A and B are shown apart, each in its own frame.
Chain A
Amino acid sequence: MEKFRVEHLNFHYGDKLALSDISISISDRRITALIGPSGCGKSTFLRCLNRMNDTIRGARVEGRVLLDGQDIYARGTDVVELRKRVGMVFQRPNPFPQSIFDNIAFGPRVLGLEGDLHQIVEESLRGAVLWDEVKDKLKQDALGLSLGQQQRLCIARTIAVKPEVILMDEPCSALDPIATLQIEELMQSLKEEYSIVIVTHNMQQASRVSDFTGFFWLGEMVEFDVTERVFTRPAQRITEDYITGRAG
């Protein structure tokens, strides 16, 4: 089932065209990886999916981004509600300087979500496979956790507001290999409930975790296909050159 449909998306930073005519369908409850060299537009594209680029001066979007059939760039779209539905995890873990509990409870409190807050916190931490490690120290400062735990905390914080899509912008680039594998395992369990779109520089990671892969090159999506095919027999020469380390 389709979660996002992007149609002829152009993105301008002032005079610069950063994304050109991107059309793609992102499946529900699947992991979609976006790969490509630095500056190719993959993070810009990711941020178009929950309008994180809105605040950039001179930024302009053309085309349509449909979430469950509704254009998120349509006039009158509630951007706060959009970002609740489409959450984001960033490159470096960015917990608030608060307790573990308050980090997770932050979103539900701000959004006034109904339900038992303790239950939401526990469910979110369990969902992020962090509960067993922190259940006895929920009042402790989140910054005392390891980087890998902090990133899982950020994922728990994201799922605490019950999103439908999780965007991940190089979520493992600051983590060691074990913490990276833990996040990757976590992604596999998260995709049972959420659609995930991940930007990664690590092609092995893209090939390990994702169901679909899109390859960006100079602001264009050159190839989009099931991951297995992209990494074994890509259709485009430039994709092959990039993933075999001969371009980019």
Chain B
Amino acid sequence: MDNTKRYERLLERYGNGDLSRRKFLGLLGAAGLAYGVQMPFSKGALAAVSEVRFDGWGGVVSEAFRKHAFDPYTNATGINVVDGTFGGGDEYLSRVKASQPGEYNIAHLSGVFDYARYHNLGLASELNEANIPNLANVIPKLIDVFRNVTGGTLSCVPYDYGTTGLAYNRKFISDDEMKEKGARILLEEKFKNKIGGWSDWRTRIWYGSLQTGQNPNGAEDMDAVWDAIRTHRDLALKYWNSGAELMSLLAEEEIYVTEGWSGRIYALQEQGHDIGYYDPPNSFGWQECLFVMKGSPMAECEELLNFMLERDTAVAVAEGQNYPPALDPNKVDLGKKVPTLPAFDPTGTLNGLTFADPAYWNGNEAEWSKTFGRVQKGY
């Protein structure tokens, strides 16, 4: 009930004789006092939602979101999108854990394992899918894996996918050599101090599994995997910590070979750097989603998600960030550039990509992340 209605009712009761003049004036004065002394926060709480916070990976990805999604969304709805960045899912989760509900709203999360972690920590919201009609155009396989984690409901919409494959400087490594050696090229002695790697424990273990000929979603000889990680560590010049650092190390020729994110490597190629990209068998495939935190303004968030899944928005963002959108190519025309992006699957089945099994990775997270912390430092 708004204040005007409340005063009208008081006046009506006074007019009907239900209230004495003294009591009517007293209540009116009390209402005026309450309005006068209310905190600025309460005024804000009563007001309509004017902004939504979005956190993503920064760099070209954030630029693409800002240009092709957030600014047009703000122009269309009047709701401002405040965007922040993070270097990795772990770092972001730590920030969210320290925050108040509603402080963070939407995150560009990577991998189903992150979705499961947020759900396990009680941070997941429940989307009203009726408010996101564009969800119907998303590749069904990408949606189903999320539904399985949250018991049939969704806390996110899939948005894009890509791979963490092998990036190499063609001046020093030929395409043939890369194909021949695959993931084991990261253990080549002749490239000592010219090898890089992401400081993410999952990626290190995934590639350690590939280098030892094991299933990355079910390695049985973990000792061999840790040995491979140690060998890589001793040959590596640097573990990179962000996409920007990855691009800088490759572009400046500090390193010749590393794993890399497909979209970032494509961005380097677009800039004219002669950097090759190769997905070895069982390369690390991942999908990213737009995850809505519990306590967020749901209607506004759902509106933003639906806006971002619009064909024109999704394709523009995909072309900007160089990752294929989650839209089904059998249902939506994805334009000319998207089919040329690395990791793009024209069938819409994604059968050619190997994704991380959330149960396997999250089940071992506590032990492996800690062990990697030690191996990384020379142990």
Is the A/B pair a real complex? no
